[in-house]
Structure 1
Amino acid sequence: MVNYALGNNVITQIGLLVHDIEKTSRAYADFFGVDKPQWFWTDEAEKAKTEHRGKPTEARAKLAFFNMGSLQLELIEPDRNPSTWRESLDSNGEGFHHIAFVIEGMKEKISLLEAGGMPLLQKGEYTGGRYAYMDTFKDLKLLIELLEKDR
């Protein structure tokens, strides 16, 4: 058994895919009795450098975040361009997409997981860091997102 040792076993985030971020954000805000967060677009391709299944993509998504104590709930409404978000929404419908962990050493962690048969699905940059979605479904029955913050 391979020890993947992400260096952190604290789930930071749960990601959900939605068709209508405005409507779903309102539903969550009302349910929890909190302010509805303002959604925003992910960065454009030139800045995000998004790759899906090893190829550059123009994919963007609307994101809204609910900070729920030690856990963040992320709502994701993808555009129509190729992405793990679009694939999952089209195949599985709305709902669960990933759990995320904050890590250090993105390249090394990706290599370690890939060596264990958990391929990189999508990666990109955002202001303040980078992310990678790893296909851990075969073994873990879900997708893992790795988040690395700039130092």
Structure 2
Amino acid sequence: MKSSTLSFLLAGLLLTGGVHASAADHVHASHAWIRVLPGDLPAGAYVTLQNDGDQPVALSGASSTVYADVMLHQSSTAGDMSRMTMVDALPVPAHGKAVLAPAGYHLMLMQANAPVKPGDTVRLTLSFTDGSTLATDFIARPANAMDAGDDHRGH
């Protein structure tokens, strides 16, 4: 009898755990691209995150097997001074989106373990503050690129 009771309790716990969706379950990534710079210079990664959920979520960073370090940054300009600041999280509103783009929020990719060339695909694992993750493929673009090159600039 104890074995069947334990099985019943475990089944209930598993079902209960499935009721609460993670942030990554509600977020869709699109227009994901990397601006590749020459030599060992850091690259920037950009993406649009769409949250279809009823609750806001927050991107807290990313990781990659290709880059030793990935940091979430925000670029800003005050007067004629440009600055880049590391941020802890980027909110993605419920039924809304957050855009990581040049001159704004972006992922800074440091120390590639092999050269990344335009046309390559690099997988980044996006991390959210609830601990969930979303694996996303980013297309590498040349240093002079301003967008993902997928003809969706206005979307």
Q: TM-score scaled to structure 2, two decimals?
A: 0.28
**Normalized per residue, which structure has more strand?**
2
Of Structure 1 and Structure 2, the greater helix share is in: 1
**TM, length-normalised to structure 1:** 0.28
| Larger Rg computed on CA atoms | 2
